[in-house]
């Protein structure tokens, strides 16, 4: 073997070295992707909680002005547009400056008329969460 041939073989990387570097890059890429997905999911969950809190506050302002909560049929829309059955002069809205039609996953918020622990009228605003299905563990409801 001549010196020239020997040098040519030592210049490049071996197949094992290339595969090892690729494997390391794939593992690092996977870790970054998983971390990003988790951070994004947490950000969406926090955004939904914040929006629900904002909606809850607006519904309470509506109740203070009108004297009752919006009906289930009126829902969140009653916070932006005066319902026809609102007492004249009592509706002081809009109670929301912007439309909050959807949660961070693109699903509409669910507004329901409920009763509190004392049997008094109340309401519940729910985000269907990442899976978009009602009644699953990832649904987001405020703690009252």
pLDDT tens across 67-84, in order? 999 998 988 998 988 888
- Domain of residue 48 covers 15-126
pLDDT tens across 5-61, in order? 555 556 788 888 888 888 898 888 888 887 788 888 889 999 999 999 999 999 999
Give the DSSP H or E segment for 54.
helix 15-66
Q: What is the pTM of this model?
A: 0.73
Residue 47 belongs to domain with CATH number: 3.30.700.10
Q: What pLDDT, on a 0 to 100 scale, did the predictor assign at position 128?
A: 93
- Distance CA(120)–CA(106), nearest Å, equals 32
Contact 82, 92 (CB under 8 A): no
Please report whether residue 3 resides in a domain.
Answer: no
Please report whether residue 77 resides in a domain.
Answer: yes
For 94, phi then psi, to 5°, come to: -75, 145
Contact 95, 80 (CB under 8 A): yes
Say whether pLDDT at 3 is over 80.
no
Q: What pLDDT, on a 0 to 100 scale, did the predictor assign at position 70?
A: 92
Please report whether residue 97 resides in a domain.
Answer: yes
Please report whether residue 47 resides in a domain.
Answer: yes
Q: Is 78 exposed, middle or buried (0-12, 13-18, 19+ CB in 10 A)?
A: buried
- Distance CA(70)–CA(63), nearest Å, equals 8
Q: Please give the tally of structural domains in the chain.
A: 1
């Amino acid at each position: 073997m001549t010196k020239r041939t020997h040098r040519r073989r030592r210049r490049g990387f071996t197949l094992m070295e290339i595969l090892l570097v690729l494997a390391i890059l794939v593992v690092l890429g996977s870790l970054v992707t998983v971390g990003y997905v988790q951070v994004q999911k947490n950000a969406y969950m926090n955004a939904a909680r914040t929006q629900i809190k904002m909606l809850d506050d607006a519904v309470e302002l509506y109740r203070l002005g009108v004297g009752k909560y919006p009906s289930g049929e009126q829902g969140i829309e009653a916070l932006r547009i005066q319902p026809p059955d609102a007492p004249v002069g009592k509706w002081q809205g809009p109670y929301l400056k912007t439309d909050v039609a959807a949660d961070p996953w693109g699903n509409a918020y669910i507004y329901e008329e409920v009763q509190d622990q004392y049997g008094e009228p109340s309401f519940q605003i729910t985000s269907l969460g990442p899976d978009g299905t009602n009644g699953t563990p990832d649904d987001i409801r405020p703690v009252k």
